[in-house]
Every structure is written in structure tokens, then in C-alpha cells.
Amino acid sequence: MPAVILLLVFLAAHPFAPGKSMEGTDGPPGNLDDGPHVYWRNDTTAVVFSFTGGRLVQEAFTASDTVRFQGSLDGTAVSFAIPTAGPSREDCDTGPVSRFLAVSDVHGDFPRFREILLASGVMDDSFAWTWGDGHLVVLGDIMDRGPAVTECLWLVYLLEQGAERAGGAVHFVLGNHELMVLRGDLRYVHERYLDGISGVTGMDCDDLFGPDMELGRWVRSRPAVVRMGDVLFVHGGIAPGSGVDEMSLSGINELVWRGLDRSSVGYLLDGVERVFGSLGPLWFRGYHYGMEDLYLETTAEEVAILHDRYEVERIVVGHTEHDSLAALFGGRVLAIDVPVDDRGGQQALLWEAGAFYRVNADGSMVLIP
């Protein structure tokens, strides 16, 4: 029986008033606090639970269309509105947009993520969307490594709702670390989760993002590739000669979605390896260098073929670090994963008024030729 189910069976047998602590659940100090997490008991009932001060608290909500509750995000009070119908899968092609900002490989670093979004004018201090009809692209790898994955996910979730109300949009493109966590590979999960809510309650970290959890079902609905006007966004890249490069963008997304919860048998027999392996869009690094026995370094001619095939002028990727935001292949590929600690903060790619800019953590902008 999944750990989340076991936990909720225990809670049902040992009820306590909403907001009170579970008696007898001693745990690590409050710096391991985590939540909220939303577990869908059925189509209309959600259990909202958090790990607070070493104890687990929970409250059940029932609604026909939207579950609403008050909570906090990094100490700031926020209102959560969770549709009972669940998230819809995103179309892989947005058409032309007025402007976009792209950031990659957040890895649970909430302060730096918050900093670059504030510096870029995407949101305000209360996490409210302030960018009108602009589009924000988070190019994979929110999960793993850092201590504030839950907060980063909820921030993108809330900004997505705010952007939609304002006529803009947020696009969370899956990375290899989302794939790893959703498929139970927890090698890079931060100790805050292993020692906190998971260690104390016995819940598996991947169950916190399972298909019956709100964040889990939302992440499972996000795409692996998105085309925005004449720009293609993909976490790793489309590998020439891999077979993936012969698929449509919608076909790539469909296979990724079908494979996220496949068994090992289905994974091997249903062709999922094409999109989840080293030549898949979440893992490929061939735009940057070759890897012996895996793939050769991509050539300029191969990049040009990809551009023609997908009818784009630029491919924007994360996943592989560069010292600073980099234009590769004469600007045909833009690499936006940077060493955040070395740079002193995140960098973002801004496209506005027909030009590309590097946005630094202090809000300064540098034109990319």
C-alpha cells in the first residue's frame, strides 16, 4: 500500500482537530518544515497536510469545483485555489507572443529563483504576477538538489494561475530531474525531505509527487517541448539521428506523458526509452559536447536541419552548464543553465521587441548579439 495511503489511514484512525499537531510524532527541528501538500482522496475531497515544527498537521476539504485554503509560501501568506478537475495538458505550440523570459535549472533554490523573477519584473514581493501578457518559461529541473523544491513548485503553480488571469502564461517544461523523482530515482533529493516529512512519517519522497497529489498531477501534465513563435524550448535538446528528431512536438510530449508512470516492462516495450534515455529531450547534451559510446557532438548542419524540421530560428536549452548564458552555433542554440553559485545568482533569457537579452540577478540586462 502506498505510503501516503498508509499515512491517511493512520490519520483517520487517530483524528485530531485541523491545524493541531499529531501527538507523539516527534521529529527534526522546524527548519525541515515542508508543505503544503494536497492529497486527492477522491474527485471532490482533498486532504491538505504540512510538516511543521517536527509534526504533521492536516485538514480535509470538499468542494465541487475548487478547493480553497490559506497557507504560506516562504513565510508569506498566500491563498491557494486548487481546481478539482485537475490541470489540463499544455499545447506544445503557443503561437507568437509579445515577450518571454526563460530561466532553467532552479533546483530548489527558492531565494535565487525569487530574486531573478523580481529583478525581471515578472512578479511582486507577494508573488503576484505583474508581467501582463508576457510569457514565463521555466525550462526544467525545479526538482532535486536544493532544499526548497516544494516552495519553487508552488510559486510556479501560483504564477501560472495569475498569468492566465492577466492574459499571459507560464510554461513549466519538464527536465531530467522531474523525470527522476516521478519515477522513484531519489539520488539527488535534499536531506530536508529525507530527514523531514519523509523520514518522520515514513512517506516516500516520490509519493509526495504521485499522481494522486496535486503537485504530482500538475507536474505530470507539463510538456517536454514547447514552441513559442519561432523559438523551441527543450530542457536537454533534440538529438539528431535519435528517432526523436523524426517525431512531431506533440508526439514527443504524448510519449513522455504516457511513459511517466509506466512499469519497467512498459518502459522497455512501449518505446519510452526514445524520450527518456540519453538521446531523449530531457537528457541530451550533444549541443555542448560529445559523449563516447553515447553520441557525437552535434554539428552546425544538424542544428540547421532541426530548425527546418521544427520551423524555428532558435532552440533554447538548459541542463548543461555554461559560465554565463551562451549563444551557440551563431545564436541558433541558446544555453541558459549557468552555475548559480559562481555567478552569484540566476540568469534569465529575455526576448522583447525583437531582441534577446541576458538578465542578471540585479536586474541589469545585456544585449545578446
pLDDT band at 268 (very low <50, low <70, confident <90, very high): confident
pLDDT at residue 226 greater than cutoff 60: yes
Q: Where residue 263 falls among pLDDT bands split at 50, 70, 90?
A: confident
Q: How confident is the model at residue 31 (pLDDT cuts 50, 70, 90)?
A: confident
Can you name the CATH fold of 99-174+222-368?
Answer: Purple Acid Phosphatase; chain A, domain 2 (3.60.21)
pLDDT level of residue 72 (50, 70, 90 thresholds): very high
Using one digit for the tens of pLDDT, what is the confidence trace for 110-139? 999 999 999 999 999 999 999 999 999 999
**Residue ranges covered by each domain of the chain:** 3-83, 99-174+222-368
13 pLDDT higher than 80: no
pLDDT band at 293 (very low <50, low <70, confident <90, very high): confident
Contact of 301 with 73, CB cutoff 8 Å: no
